[in-house]
Structure 1
């Protein structure tokens, strides 16, 4: 490439630090071959930063990040900081501040990893959850009030926001993605039988957008039925598009069915390229195992592959994905997926198979 790619690394909290280091080791091994160059800058933002400064990131943090080509993120959350403070103060601030409206979470079953799904033994299962990442149930609209009336009188309101433009752009993204896959199918997740405003708008937009993609098979499924379908008929899935909350839950279910949340990669995309996109493993900060060398680095390393693909390096991304599969097939696995290997041992096994 003509210039180094500037990558902002934010390991943040807990095992985020360990898995970001693992991903960087894999990427640095690839870039040493000379086909591309990464210029790293690491930021110490997170719960430790909050303890010192009273906020998860600096006030001008978004301006600092704006000039980077991508953001490589670890995990956020620590017992000393309320979860809603840590999440909204760092990860969601970046996602919403940079309009990273498309969250892509592949559900991939690795060789050598035992899935709780019996169908995984004799069927090829592979689907992608596309999550609307900028509005919906996580729009942050609401408040708490009336506590002055006395004990037990406080009320809280949490509103979901669905815009026609927001629904349409994530659905077109999902349909365009489906056109790149062997099975051209988009499954829309809804709850319009009970949520008669926002989800009915979601359904209306889905039908309208689907008419522009006559070559793509479609279905609209209630979220509770889709949860069952993930377990009972996963072979019928290709691209699943859902609102912020529904996709958040379903994608974690998909990761668990594949063997562990530690395996799952994700991309938070600003597809127009107006802002940098962010890449992170799906798992949390796991304070119970932080610092023990037991964290599964596969989700973070897979997220590094998604980052390279986004930055125009699909061949290098594919090499990482193949190396992950080869290491997994060889039985080099962390404890969460039935193995005995450490974070460093899995990282070394993947690096050796690039």
Structure 2
């Protein structure tokens, strides 16, 4: 039997509610399949930990996490008590950067029983590959002077290595899916980094002659994701563009609360981390109404990464079966609790040969 060691960081707010029920779902799925098991180790890191210890995680936290096969994260942030730049850079971004989690993968698909704001969503199923280590979110830049002469410079940093890594992963993923890859660009307005990105996209295309490759300017692409999302398969984008498009993906699904994400280390030197897109929502924490589906879908992505595809597929099927049956939390039009939704997902998991 395969036994996976999973580091669990519930974090802040509703992370403390949706992570425990997701662990229950994973354990139930393991019981159904009987060929894999999970050993969970929880870490109390987050804003509460910061207020007690003056830091978001242990000094040797990264070293501790290296011992695991994957990291399951809930949510980070409690801005009323800890500024976001401290909480995010002290935990989430620290883990991403220290563990070279250079790609962020986020799906968006039409779910039965979930009311998309689109009039005709037509069963869209999109996977966005977001470069996760540099680009527009680099730390290069600064501020000088004060008053009317004050100046702020934020430098976007695009390296061939990171851009090519994201783009090649996009081609590979498209080849495993419907064979269509779209690159998000803005080379008609951003005169250095985006033409560089476009050149690499074209170069890598030579390795994947069976993938239909196109590029779209980000403003048009955002519009097309609303007007005709069913035409897209895999989208590859820089850090900022990917961030925006994936939130848009959550919106057209009907709720960002169900959207998952994977932060992947592609060289196998460090564990990858899996987290839902939704925030910590401290305003509803403790009420038992948090939507657990984003965290559960995130666990499905973790299973795919570990090679447990059939178990992951069974969980995704159970999620969609649950929403189709109308068993949902109030944020997506239901009246079920966090625990009730998670239990229903468990009950609908079926063994797949």
TM-score (norm 1): 0.95
Give the Å deviation of 1:81. Answer: 1.3
Give the Å deviation of 1:93. Answer: 0.7
Deviations 1:223-263 (A, max 9, x none): 11111011111121000000111111110101110010111
Unaligned runs of 5+ residues in structure 2 are none
Give the equivalent residue in structure 2 for 1:133.
132
Give the equivalent residue in structure 1 for 2:20.
21
**Where do 1:4-19 residues align within 5 Å?**
4-19=3-18
SS state of the match for residue 104, structure 2? strand
Query: d(CA) in 2 for partners of 1:107 and 1:210?
Result: 24
Give the Å deviation of 1:329. Answer: 0.8
The answer to whether residue 167 in structure 2 is matched with residue 166 in structure 1 is no
Give the equivalent residue in structure 1 for 2:268.
273
Give the equivalent residue in structure 2 for 1:70.
70
Give the Å deviation of 1:53. Answer: 1.8
**Where do 1:86-235 residues align within 5 Å?**
86-120=87-121, 123-147=122-146, 151=147, 153-181=149-177, 183-235=178-230
The answer to whether residue 242 in structure 2 is matched with residue 264 in structure 1 is no
Give the Å deviation of 1:204. Answer: 0.8
Give the equivalent residue in structure 1 for 2:327.
332
Query: d(CA) in 2 for partners of 1:339 and 1:101?
Result: 36
- The change in CA–CA distance for 1:61 and 1:152 in structure 2 (over 3 A counts) is farther
Give the equivalent residue in structure 1 for 2:318.
323
Unaligned runs of 5+ residues in structure 1 are none
Query: d(CA) in 2 for partners of 1:146 and 1:234?
Result: 45
Give the Å deviation of 1:137. Answer: 1.3
Deviations 1:5-42 (A, max 9, x none): 11000011111111111211101112234321111110
SS state of the match for residue 37, structure 1? strand
SS state of the match for residue 216, structure 2? strand
The answer to whether residue 242 in structure 2 is matched with residue 247 in structure 1 is yes
TM-score (norm 2): 0.95
SS state of the match for residue 118, structure 1? coil
Number of corresponding residues: 347
Give the Å deviation of 1:154. Answer: 4.1
Query: d(CA) in 2 for partners of 1:271 and 1:258?
Result: 28
Deviations 1:252-300 (A, max 9, x none): 1011100101111111111221100001111111112111111111010
Give the equivalent residue in structure 2 for 1:345.
340
- Conserved in 1, the CA contact under 8 Å of 2:109 and 2:123? no
Deviates more, 1:169-178 or 1:23-32: 23-32
Deviations 1:197-217 (A, max 9, x none): 111111111111112211111
Query: d(CA) in 2 for partners of 1:138 and 1:129?
Result: 17
Give the Å deviation of 1:343. Answer: 0.7
Give the equivalent residue in structure 2 for 1:36.
36
SS state of the match for residue 36, structure 2? coil
Give the Å deviation of 1:350. Answer: 0.4
SS state of the match for residue 139, structure 1? coil
Pick one of 289, 293, 300 that aligns with 1:298.
293
